[in-house]
Amino acid sequence: MDGAASLLPYALTSVGVLTMLSLAGLRAWRGWLELRRAELLAGTSGAGAPDLPGLRARVKRLEAIASGLDG
């Protein structure tokens, strides 16, 4: 066998493994999306609803720190 023909089984195996990993990743991604969709439809999220006033206050504080007014 010449060099290229001896590498063919390795190349085919690599393509097969890459295909299997890609399909497994795609399935996991779709499952995660379905879980998030179900959570959104149920009105719940993993960490609870975000506290918007608290987030706004934190952003204002960070902006003050960035401008040098606080800290």
Instruction: Please give the pLDDT value at position 50.
Output: 67
Q: What is the pLDDT of residues 11-58, one digit of tens each?
A: 999 999 999 999 999 999 999 999 999 988 887 655 666 678 888 999
Report residue 34 as tokens.
């379905």
* Domain residue extents for the chain: 3-67
Is residue 64 within 8 Å of residue 70, measured between CB atoms? yes
- 4/8 Cα distance (integer angstroms): 7
Side chain identity at 16, as an amino acid letter? Answer: G
pTM of the model: 0.53
